[in-house]
């Protein structure tokens, strides 16, 4: 059944890529693929569970002794339904709730004119200069914010500046690449780097100096390659959305618009700090920020005698959140999680370790795969395969040099952070930032594949080459 599930997964991705040909919404295909993979897994649970999750099943049965009297096949089904499905949905819900909170925050800032303080200061109308500015802003913002939130914010800014939707696709594609590259060199910039940082595989002091230059190169190479696609000056968008808010924006004071911008950005930036201090998941931090913005806007409207129909309270703004993008994201994560639960991803990671054995080659392959499969389960599989080595383990190893790669801040973990983060840019569906931008801007999979993938791939290879040079030729470890 592994073969059937892999084929189904690939067919689903093919239909997602052909959305503009089939005229079938990619969200529907993603949900169908994810649901069918879980159906196949549940129907063959007795076959998969003993091979992949036997220890986990035993712990589940110990915690629920009333299931011990049931037939083994029933025990496996109950394990899948009552444990794995709920665990998977819980993790997906964390991501979706965070995404909803980030989208609401950005929409509140946008509808109340907050981004005007930034866009009005972007005075250049030269398309190429603007592309470079957007790339630099995205790269450094994503190191502080997560790359998903940064992508949403930057797409909203681009919409205010660039009118031509096809040119906007070029800017949005560079936002995806720069956001993923910027998130790779910071321990709090990407989900995978956060995973490695929290588990002690990498540290802040070593990660930033080792990965900054490779990540920067991986972002700037595509920018340089994309410059010939743009000529002349930017054509600003028609102020349709501004007309809708024109009466409201006239009533709001400048300091109120600025306050919403500052509070919103602070709420987004404080999420990693909130997680570090409270150890609560990031979605709790973003919900706290939404609550603060909600209360602030309610108090602000109490001071104004504006007609109620003109007020853009959060209850109105929430309807602007793109539900199709959220459902597409859910379907993709469900599909990938099903493959993880049946052991396909772990088996492939083991195969790489046995047949490849070179830390650089293994990570390059993982990075390439992260453009197709979500990088979170790939990194999770790698973390599960290799413990963080200590000095005693290195001293006792048959090959101490190879084992040293797996110490904290070793080559394997640092290069894994780079490859898993940057590799996802090669396909638009290869990262959370790409999926969201694809939904927000309606960028076709085929368009990105034809025009942007080769740029992202060259950037990925260039950055990887820089990292390898640092470690192999220059002896930086």
The secondary structure of residue 473, as a DSSP letter, is I
Q: Residue ranges of the alpha helices (H) in 185-203?
A: 191-198
Residue 422 in contact with residue 463, Cβ under 8 Å? yes
* Residue corresponding to tokens 């309807």: 319
> Any bridge partners for residue 407, and if so which?
389
| Percentage, residues of the chain above pLDDT 90 | 24
Predicted confidence (pLDDT) at residue 135 exceeds the cutoff of 90: yes
How far is residue 97's CA from residue 102's CA, in Å, rounded to a whole number? 9
The confidence score (pLDDT) of residue 170 equals: 94
Q: Tens digits of per-residue pLDDT, 139-163?
A: 998 887 777 778 888 888 888 888 8
Greatest CA span in the chain, whole angstroms? 77
Question: For residue 287, is it within any domain?
Answer: yes
How far is residue 196's CA from residue 78's CA, in Å, rounded to a whole number? 32
Which of 17-21, 23-27, 128-132, 319-323 holds the top average pLDDT?
A: 128-132
Mean pLDDT of 126-140: 92
* Number of independent structural domains in the chain: 1
Predicted confidence (pLDDT) at residue 242 exceeds the cutoff of 70: no
**Would you give the end-to-end CA distance of the chain in angstroms?**
43
Residue 52 in contact with residue 343, Cβ under 8 Å? yes
The confidence score (pLDDT) of residue 377 equals: 60
The confidence score (pLDDT) of residue 288 equals: 94
Res. 36 pLDDT band, cuts 50 70 90:
very high
The confidence score (pLDDT) of residue 128 equals: 92
Question: For residue 15, is it within any domain?
Answer: no
Residue 204 in contact with residue 132, Cβ under 8 Å? no
How far is residue 470's CA from residue 157's CA, in Å, rounded to a whole number? 36
| More reliable by pLDDT, 280 or 227 | 227
Query: pTM higher than 0.75 for the full model?
Result: no
Q: Is 126 helix (H, G, I), strand (E, B) or coil?
A: strand
Tokens of 174: 């560079």
The confidence score (pLDDT) of residue 291 equals: 93
Predicted confidence (pLDDT) at residue 358 exceeds the cutoff of 70: yes
| More reliable by pLDDT, 72 or 350 | 72
The confidence score (pLDDT) of residue 241 equals: 47
Range of the domain at 102: 96-191+233-323
Question: For residue 157, is it within any domain?
Answer: yes
Residue 249 in contact with residue 242, Cβ under 8 Å? yes
Res. 33 pLDDT band, cuts 50 70 90:
very high
The confidence score (pLDDT) of residue 240 equals: 45
Q: Tens digits of per-residue pLDDT, 428-459?
A: 878 878 888 888 888 888 899 999 999 999 99
Question: For residue 243, is it within any domain?
Answer: yes
Mean pLDDT of 335-364: 80
Look over the chain and give the mean of its residue pLDDT values, rounded to a whole number. Answer: 84
Residue 436 in contact with residue 152, Cβ under 8 Å? yes
The confidence score (pLDDT) of residue 353 equals: 66
Residue 469 in contact with residue 424, Cβ under 8 Å? no
Q: Tens digits of per-residue pLDDT, 270-294?
A: 877 887 788 888 789 889 999 999 9
| Percentage, residues of the chain above pLDDT 70 | 93
| DSSP codes of every residue in 343-355 | THHHHHHHHHHHH
| DSSP codes of every residue in 299-335 | HHHHT----GGG---HHHHGGGS-HHHHHHHHHHHHH
The confidence score (pLDDT) of residue 14 equals: 83
Which of 106-115, 214-223, 463-472 holds the top average pLDDT?
A: 214-223
Question: For residue 34, is it within any domain?
Answer: no
Of 142, 126, 146, 210, nearest to 174 by C-alpha is 142
The confidence score (pLDDT) of residue 381 equals: 65
Question: For residue 212, is it within any domain?
Answer: no
For residue 144, what is the enclosing H or E element?
helix 127-144
For residue 235, what is the enclosing H or E element?
none
Q: Tens digits of per-residue pLDDT, 368-388?
A: 888 876 666 667 667 766 778
Question: For residue 139, is it within any domain?
Answer: yes
How far is residue 355's CA from residue 466's CA, in Å, rounded to a whole number? 25
Q: Is 420 helix (H, G, I), strand (E, B) or coil?
A: helix
Predicted confidence (pLDDT) at residue 244 exceeds the cutoff of 60: no
How far is residue 313's CA from residue 76's CA, in Å, rounded to a whole number? 48
Question: For residue 383, is it within any domain?
Answer: no
């Amino acid at each position: 059944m592994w073969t059937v599930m892999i084929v189904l997964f690939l067919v689903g991705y093919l239909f997602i890529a052909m959305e503009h040909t089939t005229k079938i919404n990619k969200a529907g295909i993603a949900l169908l693929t994810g649901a069918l993979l879980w159906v196949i897994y549940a129907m063959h649970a007795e076959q998969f569970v003993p091979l992949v999750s036997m220890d986990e099943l035993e712990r589940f049965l110990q915690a629920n002794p009333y299931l011990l009297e049931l037939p083994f096949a029933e025990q496996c089904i109950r394990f899948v339904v009552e444990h794995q499905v709920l665990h998977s949905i819980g993790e997906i819900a964390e991501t979706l709730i965070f995404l909803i909170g980030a989208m609401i925050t950005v929409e509140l800032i946008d509808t109340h004119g907050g981004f005007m303080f930034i866009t009005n200061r972007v005075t250049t109308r030269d398309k190429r200069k603007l592309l470079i500015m957007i790339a630099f802003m995205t790269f450094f913002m994503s190191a502080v914010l997560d790359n998903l939130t940064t992508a949403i914010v930057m797409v909203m800014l681009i919409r205010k500046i660039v009118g031509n939707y096809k040119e906007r696709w070029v800017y949005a594609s560079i936002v995806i690449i720069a956001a993923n590259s910027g998130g790779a060199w910071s321990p709090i910039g990407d989900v995978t780097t956060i995973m490695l940082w929290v588990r002690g595989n990498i540290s802040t002091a070593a990660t930033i100096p080792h990965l900054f230059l490779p990540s920067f190169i991986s972002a700037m190479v595509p920018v340089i390659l994309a410059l010939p696609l743009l000529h002349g000056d930017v054509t600003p968008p028609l102020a349709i959305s501004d007309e809708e808010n024109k009466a409201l924006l006239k009533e709001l004071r400048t300091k109120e618009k600025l306050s919403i911008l500052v509070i919103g950005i602070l709420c987004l930036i404080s999420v990693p700090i909130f997680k570090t201090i409270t150890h609560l998941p990031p979605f709790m931090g973003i919900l706290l920020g939404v609550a603060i913005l909600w209360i602030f806007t309610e108090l602000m409207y109490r001071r104004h005698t504006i007609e109620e129909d003109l007020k853009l309270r959060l209850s109105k703004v929430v309807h602007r959140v793109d539900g199709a993008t959220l459902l597409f994201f859910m379907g993709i994560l469900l599909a990938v999680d099903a493959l993880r639960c049946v052991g396909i991803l772990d088996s492939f990671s083991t195969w790489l370790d046995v047949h490849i054995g070179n830390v650089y080659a293994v990570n390059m392959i993982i990075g390439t795969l992260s453009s197709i499969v979500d990088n979170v389960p790939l990194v999770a599989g790698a973390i599960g395969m290799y413990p963080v080595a200590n000095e005693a383990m290195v001293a006792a190893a048959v090959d101490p040099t190879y084992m040293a790669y797996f110490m904290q801040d070793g080559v394997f973990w640092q290069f894994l952070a780079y490859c898993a983060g940057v590799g996802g840019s090669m396909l638009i569906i290869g990262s959370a930032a790409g999926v969201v931008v694809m939904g927000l801007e309606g960028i076709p999979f085929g368009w990105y594949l034809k025009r942007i993938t080769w740029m992202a791939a060259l950037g990925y290879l260039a950055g990887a080459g820089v990292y390898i040079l640092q470690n192999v030729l220059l002896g930086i470890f």
